[in-house]
Structure 1
Amino acid sequence: MDHAKNSNSKIRTAAHWGIYEIENGTDGSLSIRGAAEDADPSPIGLHMASDALKQVRVAKPSIRKSWLEQGPGANPHMRGREPFVEVEWDVALDLLAAEFLRIRTSFGNEAIFGGSYGWASAGRFHHAQSQVHRFLNLMGGYVSHVDNYSLAAGRVILPHAVASTEILLDQHTSFDVMADNTTLFVTFGGVPVKNAQMSPGGAGRHRVIAGMKAMEKAGTRFINISPVSDNMPVESEWLAIRPNTDVALMLALAHVLEAEGLADLTFLNSHCVGYNRFRPYLLGETDGIAKTPAWAALICGIDADRIASLAREMAANRTMINVSWSLQRAVHGEQPFWMTVTLAAMLGQIGLAGGGFGIGYGALNSVGHDNVRLKFGAFPQGPNPVTTFIPVARITDMLLNPGEGFTYNGKAYSYPDIRLVYWAGGNPFHHHQDLNRLLKAWQKPETIVVNEPYWTPTAKLADIVLPITTPLERNDIASAGGEDLIVAMKKVEEPFGQSRNDFDIFEDLAGRFSIDFSEGLNEDGWLRRIYAVSRENASAKGIAMPDFDEFWETGLFDLGSEAKPVVMLEAFRMAPDANPVPTPSGRIEIFSETIDGFSLADCLGHPTWFEPPEWLGATGLTGEQLHMISDQPVRRLHSQLDASPHSRGGKVEGREPIHISPVDAQARGIADGDLVEVFNTRGRLISAAVVSEAMMPGVLRLSTGAWFDMDRDRQIERHGNPNALTLDVPASSLSQGCSAQTCLVEIRRLGDGQAVRVEAFDIPSFAFSARSGDGEY
């Protein structure tokens, strides 16, 4: 199945951000364009084969000089500061096998952390996370993580309130149903279609913008409650809200519904439990503070009369309430999701066509589509013999504080003592918060191994870097839950340098321990097995998929004809006893006896307003602090392909730009395009200002994903990575999720001559080791 030499063939591949057609030119060049099936293709993938990306590729297995010369644990403070030595594959794998043997023998498998959090490839087989976890499981197990940076607080709270995020995201009311029925769409955090460019496993037809436009044409009115106004693809009323105060506003809306007799008591009594326990808090009977519009206005900055009128409008219309994932990436991030469900329950429209709630319209391309949900085959990871885990956003705490206790979802655990970290398919120096703190923690492990195509920040900070192929250099199959296109991802170019597939590396490494990693199958065999599982699952749903050879020849299977309108929780509404939600009561839990029983000070038994540790309403602010939000970027997925021409084209002076309101810019003498220093007690970074009316005063926006570029001598990040400044504390002791959106900073214009050169896309230096006279291994 080698298509690299078919010089004139048009074939397809897939990435998380879409399906693409590729032509091989006679001169060996590749031409990439969006697939004909996709009317709104993302431009992110058009530069996947660019020379700029090849310039930052890892060419050969590379080992940090001190680690190679002196052994594991040597000079960990020199990670990212000293040269690498390029070695042959057998040398690298022999050294890595010896290190695995040492760690397992001396410390046990609980000393191995298999990080590998990230989107990696859209392919179901060459999926780095599955590959490395399968290998580590076969080796006796590893310390794993639970949840994700995107949705951790929501993932933990929602099963207590209504259902898991997996269940809810699979059955979000479809855009066609909302176009026919929704008259008011109220969204907390907008509908950021830049996020909807992608789906895990590959976005098919991009339809979020079309879906929203159809609603607009049908007469749906939109209200955007957000610190920014440019996160909506349709005309909307903008209610500018202070970051981290949405729960106060939601409580005030709920207070109006209760006080004016607009709450649907019939639905609350028949389909919910605990409203009688929540109502006294809402009215102020338990804490002496009635959650009125006047109370909320002082917190969130929205006029009290507008709050009251909005509550009445929501009750008078078929209303869909949407909440962005960004709201729960904050201290007390569980509360806005729980309160969204509660507010929708009070309106009584859950399960009605066009009403109820959504937890992320615009978060993924698949949310809100009517595509059939088909469980596609995957590369099996197998069971993990090690039960120890951490919440995903607590990696720094784990490395710095082995043995320290933490709570997660009501149970007590402790952090393991990690000696070896293996990362494949991710970039913690993008995802994590307070990266200066992570840099310190990163010195704790004795060995850090990274499988990576590019010299990312994480690769530069590793001890052993193994060069990996990109999706263009191998065959695979792309399929995403809720998407409509299944794609044969065909190899179109030869691997760069000595790059190898993760599968081949782990098969080779496992062979050194007499472990059967491949089960006797090669790439073609595994693709056929994975496809056969998918075909069987499709048949059970009455869907006839072609055999593998026909699929591979045509390159595409379209599930779009199986689409049917979806109304979330419709069956539950019609017959709650026959179709209960998966909570302990089988009902929507506005008060949770389970959570109340955990006795957590920072997550009570019902939705609650907690004052954040950093916010614009805090006492003692000097007036210089601004609230920085760090959203997803427009021109890449997380940090993927940041070195591409498309991503670089959105930078200003080579740095990720920071958006600032005209009011705040003028007060600080900052003009559009100026280089600026953004800082707080956690760190400093250099960015470039974009003065924008879309920003409410008091708020800055610096998108994530600029490759972390820390000048460790000057202690300043040069490229504009907001996680040099963000807060690394748990959302709460319930979820331990990340709190990136709770972040105050200051900003000033950078003086002439104060800028330092960006080195994010420089590859590291290389040296030969003193262990070998001829420089060869």
Structure 2
Amino acid sequence: MQKTGLSRRSFLALTGAVGASTLLFGGCAPKGDKEAAVEGAAKAADDGTQIVNTCSTFDCGGKCLIKAHVKDGAITKIDTRDPYQPNEDAPCGKACVRGRSYRKWQYHPDRLQHPMKRVGKRGEGKFEPISWDEAIDYIVSENERILKEYGPLARYVQIGTGDTGGNIVRADLAARFCDVTGGHIGCYNSVSMGNTGTATPSMFGIANTGSSLASLKDTKLVILWGHNPAETIFGLSNYYFRQMKENGCKFIVVDPRYSNTAVELADEWIPLLPTTDNALMDAMAYVIVTEGLHDQEFLDKYVVGFDEEHMPEGVEPNQSYRAYLEGVADGTPKTPEWAEGICKVPAETIRRIAREYATTKPAALIEGWGPQRHACGERTALGGGMLGCITGNVGKVGGWAGAYNGFTRNFPLGMADLPEDLEFESASVPMSSGWIDAIDDHTSLTKENGLKGVDRLEYPVKMIWNIASDFMMTSGPDLNRVRAILEDESKVECIICSDVLMTPTAQWSDIVLPACTCFERWNVGGTWNNGDYFILSQKISEPLGEARSEYDWLAECADRMGVKDAFTGGKTEEEWVRYMVEETQKEFSDHNLPDFDTLTKEGVAFFKKEEPRVAFKDQIDDPKNNPFKTDSGKIELFSKKLYDMKNPEIPATPHYVPVAEGPGTELAVTYSLQLIGWKTKARDNSSYFTHPWLQQTQDTELWINPLDAEARGIADGDKVLVKNDRGAMKITAKVTTRIVPGCVAAPTGSWYNPDAEGVDQNGCVNVLTSSARTAWTQGNTQHTNLVEVAKL
């Protein structure tokens, strides 16, 4: 990899002049009142250090308070002391190990400092420095050429996996530039939770089915299904879960891995094979229903499709979920013994946890986003909602509905829309792999398999924008397929990348631009869920070298193409942030929010604390005046729309269907192990892979059960080769009982680093993952993989 960052001398001069940094670890800090916060934030230390309250804008839902110590324009220390948390009912997140290491990332010796242009073959990593004028000239001329030769839909804007946590999403700025100059292809279906977000409305009418975590205060039982907040640091989940644990709440963790969350919280771990979640859910439902533990009154009143007496018109007999459970149509009751043969959870364990879940009131089954990143992801997401329905835990304080992790408030207001008289073309493709098809065979994309906005694509994608994104060559699926496509420079003619480091995606780009960090620009950060506050992400340091904000140089590009006013709306980036804060203050005038100038001192704007929010409480308390936003006005455990599709991979009820690349299939004879990835505390997608401190917190190892290891002659610490028909990677084996037999797992986010034979050397799981999409939502299937493992 080409090193293009700070020289040792300049790096030492920058950091040494302000003294050594201190990395702080620990738990919650003491709290004080708001006035103490303002005084503490504004107070300068005796040596001239200023303490500034801010936050990052990484792809992280925590939005934790960062207290940056700044002297002479440089960050000398990061801590996360929070002296102004008003009370226990309105917490403000505190930085995890990633957040506390931001300073080392800010001054990483490999930071990009100058624009560069590719001079070798694409992917070789050979670049030469160029000036910003040359870079802008190239970007403008390539856009003008591609618009003339093909059209606006030849330009694709990749998901910005390195920066989605602020109101100004950097990748969205590229989309805005493309639209003011004619249009672009974008993407839909979040990689994180696209199957959940798209499938859930078929049952409940909306995607966001989570309640506020504060509503779980008196919950007696929580089942965390593939949910690992101890490592993903999902919002304020850990804060609330720890309180609940101390209050006597029992936690059951269902997961192929004995995750850090299971270590911390679980009273019981239920290991199961990936892709078999719905079999376990079905068997639990069978026990609950056949033993009369279900809430029939709730089902009769609020649900369509549970039994034959509550089915929509135009449906054949014996299509209800209860008929499926009892095996009326196929002759196979979905007993625990039936499920045990599929998911490998003992039948008696299934009976016990089913009875416990059904009889404990209230109880909450909360799904994470890992289980829905499978070929069966839609069904798994809906299966959790199904169990919530049959036990009557929907719309109840302490219960939970669906697979969404929590209630989300979208604060503050965003940038203004583009001018109404602006004409531009737009289309979108499935995020996980639609863009690959749009390059390789654009005619294959239709409305039936995921194309939106247009009936067909007239031409393939010829330009890719990678803004704060390493998705193209690290986080996306089937990287060897992507590599083969990008090596043919007649396919994609221009790839633009703006980032902080020379990532694998940057190495495969034609123009690489040095980007500002979140400490070198203005933005606003809000929590993904369960946080009634937002934080001003302040510019506290000047850009390093020639780094520039994308807003800045895209405005210059727009100016040269005659559309600057449409792009900027007459505002600088800082002025947009001021606008967003002040407009939010007006919109929520009853919340006594601080204005922009006050916020620069306080850092955090707390909204007025409300009662804990319970999803669908209004619908359950008063269904006549608050129907569900479904066709029937009720919860649809049976979907007539899905039934009419007549697709066996898209059942009308969320029940188990075997996946094509799963256990028991013909492919499993050759590749007998299932491979999954997991998000770790050391990385945010692929961000921080080269961070020297965070590398010490997470080893890149392949977890393998002792039974599977012994059968292959593998010992703990051995180097192994993991392969399938899509690719191969080398990695160190960790032999552990913390993973279910038949499954192996590796941390995600390792940078793609193939040798001459194409074998990845870094343990990048995406050389093995599939670019196939789910049948219904066209979502991500990156956790559904069969592999074989051999000792090297």
Which category of TM-score, normalised to the shorter sequence, fits these structures?
0.7 to 0.9
Query: Which one of 256, 275, 284 corresponds to residue 227 of structure 1?
Result: 256
Q: Deviations over 1:452-498 (max 9, x none)?
A: 12111111100111211111222333223542443232333321221
Q: Which segments of 5 or more consecutive residues in structure 1 lack a partner in the other structure?
A: 67-77, 200-206, 362-366, 751-777
Q: Which residue of 1 aligns with 2:591?
A: 543
Which residue of structure 1 aligns with residue 205 of structure 2? 163
Report the secondary structure of 1:568's partner residue.
coil
Identify the residue that residue 151 of structure 1 maps to in structure 2.
Answer: 193
Cα deviation code 1:495-519 (max 9, x no counterpart): 1221111111111000111112222
Within 1, Cα distance between the matches of 2:747 and 2:510?
29
Counterpart of 2:497 in structure 1: which amino acid? V
State the alpha-carbon separation in 2 of the partners of residues 357 and 663 from structure 1: 37
* Structure 2 counterpart SS, 1:48: helix
Summarize the alignment of residues 19-30 of structure 1 with structure 2, pairs less than 5 Å apart: 19-25=65-71, 28=74, 30=76
- Deviation of 1:620 after TM superposition, in Å, equals 6.8
**Using a 3 Å threshold, how does the CA distance of structure 1 residues 352 and 519 change in structure 2: closer, same or farther?**
closer
Counterpart among 239, 242, 258 of residue 213 in structure 1 = 242
Paired position in structure 1 for 2:399: 355
Q: How far does residue 65 in structure 1 lie from its aligned partner after superposition? A: 1.7
Mapping of 1:673-692 within 5 angstroms? 673-692=717-736
Change in 2 beyond 3 A, CA 1:663/1:624: farther
Equivalent residue for 2:540?
492
Alignment of 1:429-508 (within 5 A): 429-442=473-486, 443=488, 444-482=491-529, 483-508=531-556
User: Could you give the per-residue CA deviations for residues 132-181 of structure 1, whole angstroms, max 9, x where no partner exists?
Assistant: 1211111111011112111111122111111332x324xx142x43231x
Distance 2:445 2:461 in 1: 15
Q: Which residue of 2 aligns with 1:242?
A: 273
Q: 1:520 aligns with which of 546, 565, 570?
A: 570
Cα deviation, 1:379-403, whole Å, max 9, x if unaligned, reads 3453883242101112222221111
Letter of the 1:208 partner, please give it.
S
Change (3 A) 1:4 1:663: farther
1:398 is aligned to 2:433: no
Partner-residue secondary structure (3-state), 1:43: coil
Residue 120 of structure 1 is matched in structure 2 by 163
Deviation, 1:447, is: 0.8
Q: Could you tell me which amino acid in structure 2 is paired with residue 487 of structure 1?
A: I
Residue aligning to 1:558: 606
Instruction: Name the structure 2 match of 1:179.
Output: 217
Aligned to 2:428: 389
Deviation for aligned residue 1:13: 2.3
TM-score (norm 2): 0.84
1:378 maps onto 2:414 in alignment: yes
Aligned in 2, Cα 1:471/1:7: closer, same or farther, shift over 3 Å? farther
1:345 corresponds to which of 389, 401, 416: 389
1:408 deviation in Å?
5.0
Q: CA RMSD in A?
A: 2.7
> What letter corresponds to residue 95 of structure 2 in structure 1?
P
1:131 matched residue in structure 2: 173
Question: Residue 250 of structure 2 aligns to which amino acid in structure 1?
Answer: R
Residues 102-121 of structure 1: CA distance to partner in whole angstroms, max 9, x if unpaired?
Answer: 11112111111112332415
Q: Paired residue for 1:533?
A: 583
CA contact (8 A) 1:173 1:354 kept: no
Contact preservation (8 Å) 1:4, 1:491: no
Alignment of 1:761-776 (within 5 A): none
| Corresponding residue for residue 267 of structure 1 | 298
In 2 relative to 1, CA 410–506 (structure 1 residues): closer, same or farther, beyond 3 Å?
Answer: closer
CA-CA distance at 1:300 after TM superposition = 0.8
Counterpart of 1:472 in 2: which secondary structure? Answer: coil
Query: Does 1:192 pair with 2:190?
Result: no
CA pair 376-620 structure 1, distance change in 2 beyond 3 A: closer
Q: Deviations over 1:260-297 (max 9, x none)?
A: 22222221121111223222222222223221212111
Aligned amino acid, residue 379 of structure 1: M
Aligned length: 708
Q: CA 1:33 to 1:447, structure 2 compared with 1: closer, same or farther past 3 Å?
A: same
Query: 1:698: how far off?
Result: 2.0
Structure 1 pair 121/32, CA: closer, same or farther in 2 (3 Å)? farther
> Match for residue 642 of structure 2?
595
User: Which secondary structure does the structure 2 equivalent of 1:615 belong to?
Assistant: coil
Q: How much identity, in percent, do the aligned residues show?
A: 26
Contact 1:4 1:492 (C-alpha < 8 Å) held by counterparts: no
Equivalent AA in structure 2 for residue 351 of structure 1? G
On the 8 A contact 2:200/2:402 being kept in 1, the answer is: no
Whether contact under 8 Å (2:680, 2:698) holds in the other structure is: no
CA 84–574 in structure 1, closer or farther in 2 if over 3 Å, else same: same
Q: 691-700 or 481-490: which moved more?
A: 481-490
Q: Gapped runs of 5+ residues in structure 2?
A: 1-42, 86-91, 309-319
Superposed structure 1 runs of 4+ greater than 6 Å apart: 3-6, 409-412
Q: Secondary structure at the match of 2:55?
A: strand
Please name the residue that 1:10 is paired with.
51
TM-score (norm. length: structure 1): 0.86
Q: Which residue of 1 aligns with 2:78?
A: 32
Call closer, same or farther: CA 1:737–1:294 in 2, change over 3 Å: same
Which has the higher relative contact order, 1 or 2, with Cα contacts under 8 A spaced 6 or more apart? 1
Q: Structure 1 residues 578, 119: CA separation in 2 closer, same or farther (over 3 Å shift)?
A: farther
For the 8 Å contact 2:662–2:668, the answer to whether it is kept is no
**Corresponding residue number in structure 2 for 1:774:** none
Is contact 1:374-1:538 (8 Å) kept? no
1:256 to 287, 293, 296: 287
Distance change in 2, residues 1:716/1:261 (3 Å): same
1:79 corresponds in structure 2 to 122
**What is the CA–CA distance in structure 1 between the aligned matches of 2:744 and 2:456, rounded to whole Å?**
36
Alpha-carbon contact 1:436-1:682 (below 8 Å) kept? yes
Q: For 1:251, what is the secondary structure of its paired residue?
A: helix
2:183 is paired with a residue of what secondary structure? Answer: coil
1:282 alignment partner, SS class: helix
Q: Distance in 1 between matches of 2:425 and 2:44?
A: 41
| Contact residue 81 and residue 94 of structure 2 kept, 8 A | no
3-state SS of paired residue (2:187): strand
CA distance in 2, matches of 1:547, 1:144: 34
How far off its partner does 1:251 sit?
Answer: 1.0
User: Which shows bigger deviation, 475-484 or 293-302?
Assistant: 475-484
Mapped to 2, the partners of 1:111 and 1:28 lie a distance apart of: 42
How big is each residue's C-alpha offset from its partner over 1:511-564, in whole Å with a ceiling of 9 and x where there is no partner? 11111222222233222211111112221xx201122222223333233x5142
Once the two structures are superposed, residues 600-637 of structure 1 have per-residue CA deviations (whole angstroms, 9 ceiling, x without a partner) of 33212222321112223335745872221111122121
Greater CA deviation, 225-234 or 498-507?
225-234
User: Does the 8 Å contact 1:257/1:312 carry over to 2?
Assistant: yes
Distance across 1 between alignment mates of 2:521 and 2:782? 36
SS in 1 for 2:557: helix
Determine which of 618, 624, 637 is the counterpart of 1:571: 618
Give the structure 1 partner of residue 366 of structure 2. 322
C-alpha contact 1:419 1:447 (8 A) present in aligned 2: yes
Q: 1:281 aligns with which of 324, 331, 345?
A: 324
Q: Counterpart in 1 of 2:111?
A: 57
Amino acid in the other structure paired with 1:610: V
Counterparts of 1:742 and 1:460, CA distance in 2: 28
Q: Distance in 1 between matches of 2:242 and 2:528?
A: 24
